[in-house]
Amino acid sequence: MRIGIFGAGYVGLVTGTCFADLGHDVTIRDIVPARVEALRAGRVPIYEPGLKELIAKNAARLTFTTEIADVVRDADVLFVCVGTPPTHSGDADLSAVWTVVDELPQDDRRVVLVMKSTVPVGTGAKVRTALDERGLHNVGYVSNPEFLAEGSALSDFRNPDRVVIGAYEAADGDVVERLHQGIDTVFVRADVASAEMVKLAANAALAVRISFINEIANVCELTGADVNTVALGIGLDHRLGKHFLRAGIGFGGSCFPKDVSALKQLAGNAGYHFQLLASVIEVNELQKRRVIGKLQKHLGTVRDKRVALLGLAFKPNTDDMREAPSLVLSARLLAEGADVRVWDPVVEDLGQLPHGVVVCSSVEEALDGADAAVIVTEWDELKSVASADALARMRTPLIIDGRNLLDPETVRAAGFTYEGVGRAVGPAVSA
């Protein structure tokens, strides 16, 4: 089939490239000319493992454009993969979605508009009404929410747990299902509103689990239990499962924070106070800040202390820094008067970092003269951070492991003071 994609971001590029790899002809449109020029020149503007190679492999079936006419011409299916960032009110900003809908040209052919962007429940109904008011009865509408995770996006596309298809016309849903031929999965056929809710509810459920295990970790710290052992014991219960039980410094990224907030606001706008999600958000905010308390416990004040933040991306194997804990931590530490050094192996766009942060090109550089190292992102490169070289470089050998990446015993035996999240706490180091 001929597929048009709106948005050459994480979702649009992965979706378009994977559909091209399944044999479809794909045109991807973005409104940022530099992004399209880079893609045409073989440069991929985001970091996603395997994506660059897959784009190169399918170059003959992939076209990149800034022009709406190119993406709509001859297309059987149009995917909306534009951003839906949070507004100041916590609702989703749908302006990019509406631009796509409003710009769709009149056409006599049947085309199916597929919403992959994460949108509030009720958006499909509003889009359907808007299309009908413009006489675009030939444009079908399908909600097909995306569940891929950055860092494993290609394999998530190829091996999805399920594909959710919410359609007004069953035939339009059939078209979307047929597009996925070659992928072995369960298709959940739904009404549009339920499909929209599946996405928001799934992300909310994952966020609940993260905040839950983080609170268990905080109680473990006060009572002498070890959260990794507790998570293992919980996860073996078949009713619970082992995923999303890793304690840490809170969730970030472009999806969980905004989708949880969007669902809370959606409920509020409909007259329901979603108490549980309000707590999940609050727990997550506080979790990021606990690192500051741990630093202060060991160093006294962090004023004029050099703190190395290791990892900027919100998780490994991506360069995405949207809502990353590193942003909150660096801003809080700067506000406390600390000298903040940061390192990340892939993040290149540092525009979101607060002014005053020193960016280092290696872990060693970040650790030179540091009073503390904080593992913010569990990059593989950091597994060996507690080395003799690091011990010699640091002014105070303190490691705060925000991701429980390291083995406490080994790190302490190497001469460091170590604190993870929800793990037995060692003696305080004097700064």
Ligand X SMILES: NC(=O)c1ccc[n+]([C@@H]2O[C@H](COP(=O)([O-])OP(=O)(O)OC[C@H]3O[C@@H](n4cnc5c(N)ncnc54)[C@H](O)[C@@H]3O)[C@@H](O)[C@H]2O)c1
Tell me how far apart the terminal alpha carbons of the chain are, to the nearest angstrom: 64
Nearest-5° angle of CA 269, CA 270, CA 272? Answer: 95
**31 vs 425, beta carbon nearer ligand X:** 31
Task: Mark whether 255 is an active-site residue.
Answer: yes
Distance in Å, CB of 212 to ligand X, minimum: 22
Cα separation, 228 vs 18, whole angstroms: 36
Residue nearest to ligand X (CB): 9
Which uninterrupted H or E stretch holds 342? strand 339-343
- Tell me which long-range contacts 189-193 makes (C-beta under 8 A, separation of at least 24): 189/165, 190/143, 190/164, 190/165, 190/166, 191/166, 192/124, 192/125, 192/128, 192/141, 192/142, 192/143, 192/166, 192/167, 192/168, 193/121, 193/122, 193/124, 193/125, 193/166
- CA 274 to mean position of chain CA atoms: 23
The angle, 0 to 180 degrees and rounded to 10, between the axes of the packed helices 192-223 and 256-269 is 120
Q: Residue 143 in contact with residue 169, Cβ under 8 Å?
A: no
Distance from C-alpha of 219 to C-alpha of 231, rounded to nearest angstrom: 13
Q: For residues 264 and 302, is the Cβ–Cβ distance under 8 A?
A: no
Report yes or no: 44 and 52 within 8 Å, Cβ to Cβ: yes
Q: Tokens in use for 333? A: 């530490």
3-class secondary structure, 111: strand
- The CB-of-201 to ligand X minimum distance in angstroms stands at 14
Which residues are within 8 A (CB) of 187 and not within 5 positions of it... i.e. 6 or more apart? 162, 163, 165, 177, 180
| In the complex, least distance from residue 150 CB atom to ligand X, rounded to whole angstroms | 4
Q: Report the candidate in 417, 408, 428 with the shortest Cα–Cα distance to residue 390.
A: 417
CA contacts within 13 A on the Cβ side of 87 = 11
- Amino acid 337 reads G
Question: Taking Cα atoms as reference points, which of 40, 36, 29 lies closest to residue 73?
Answer: 29
Nearer to ligand X, 123 or 287 (CB): 123
Between 81 and 176, CB nearer to ligand X: 81
Provide the binding-site residues for ligand X, judged by CB under 6 A: 6-12, 29-32, 35, 81-84, 96, 99-100, 116-118, 146, 148, 150, 254-255
Question: Which residue in 208, 248, 202 sits closest to 228, CA to CA?
Answer: 248
Annotated active-site residue in 81, 220, 255, 360? 255
Separation CA 419–CA 416 (nearest Å): 10
Backbone angles phi, psi at 129, to 5 degrees: -60, -45
Query: Would you name the residues annotated as active-site residues?
Result: 255
